[in-house]
Amino acid sequence: MRVSRKIYRICVFLCAMAVTVSFFPTTQASTSPQTSWTLDNVLKQMDAQAATFHSLTADLERTKVTVVVNDKSIETGQIFVRSDDKMRIEVTQPDARTILRDGDTFYIYNPKIHRVEEYNLGKKKSVVDQFLLLGFGTSGSSLKESYTVTLKDEETLDNRKVLLLELLPKTDEVRKQLSKIQLWLDESTWLPAQQQFFETGSGDYFIIRYRNINRNVRIPDNEFKPHWPHGTTRVQPQA
């Protein structure tokens, strides 16, 4: 099953994961992180927090770095997530657009050209879910099923104590797209403070930073409905 670059880039932007599996042991790297936390304790804490996660809102900043030409582009906006496979991202700068997930369907709305693209995940869902909601209510168990996990260190980011995890994809399908992922978990909320995705081969990467996170706030169903202005062109590109 091949995941197209278009779907892959949507998934990396949304960066979330919603799989639940049983708990398996993972071997840590030989270099010990400078923290009193152990990998097992971190993943068990993620298991406990995942059981009570329902929703979040946050500001986000996404930086794309193209290494070979030393180019950097930045997008900013807001993200809204619910644990029932619903997500909405409102990109505000530099070019406004809406990215919406409602179950197995993605929508990308571009107000400049009055056009919305619709994608149905279908059989690609199991692969796509490895990118979606990564760290947003993700259990430690599910993380270890899809990735080889290493606890790298304890750091400070935006005046927050964070734990840095390095994730190496286990499946060939994901490794074709990403060589590794780094995940900074806020110790006060057990939600991502930052994520970094490294593309396979090119060395290019994305960094997504989250600020002003609100956990388990009420987000009405209407926020996740595909309501587009009259006259919007609807297209269904081949995924």
Residue 207 banded pLDDT, cuts 50, 70, 90? very high
- Average of per-residue pLDDT across 18-39: 48
Find the CATH number of the domain harbouring 184: 2.50.20.10
Tens digit of pLDDT for each residue in 115-152? 999 988 776 666 666 565 577 778 889 889 889 999 99
Please report, rounded to a whole number, the percentage of residues in the chain having pLDDT higher than 70: 80
> What backbone torsions phi and psi does residue 67 show, to the nearest 5 degrees?
-65, -45
The helix/strand/coil state of 215 is strand
Burial class (CB in 10 A: 0-12, 13-18, 19+), 147: buried
Whether residue 34 is contained in a domain is answered as no
* In a domain? residue 23: no
Residue 31 maps to a domain: no
**Residue % of the chain over a pLDDT of 90:** 55
Task: State in Å, rounded, how far the first CA of the chain is from the last one.
Answer: 12
Average pLDDT rounded to a whole number, residues 190-206: 90
When mean pLDDT is compared across 11-25, 33-47, 101-115, the lowest value belongs to 11-25
- State the pLDDT at residue 103: 80
Specify the residue for token string 């990564």: 134
Give me the residue label for tokens 């790297």: 29
Cβ(234)–Cβ(92) below 8 Å: no
- Domain contains 129: yes
Q: Output DSSP code: residue 132.
A: B
The residue ranges of DSSP E strands in the chain, in sequence order, are: 55-66, 71-82, 86-93, 97-102, 105-110, 115-120, 147-157, 160-169, 178-186, 192-199, 205-215, 233-235
Rounded to an integer, what distance in angstroms lies between the CA atom of residue 213 and that of residue 194?
12
Inside any domain, residue 32: no
State the Cα–Cα distance between residues 195 and 161, nearest whole angstrom.
15
How many domains would you assign to the chain? 1
Domain limits for position 134: 5-17+39-235
Q: How far is C-alpha 7 from the geometric centre of its chain's CA atoms?
A: 13
pLDDT band for 8, please (50, 70, 90 cuts).
low
Does 11 map to a domain?
yes
Assess if residue 140 is contained within a domain: yes
Query: So what's the pLDDT on residue 138?
Result: 83
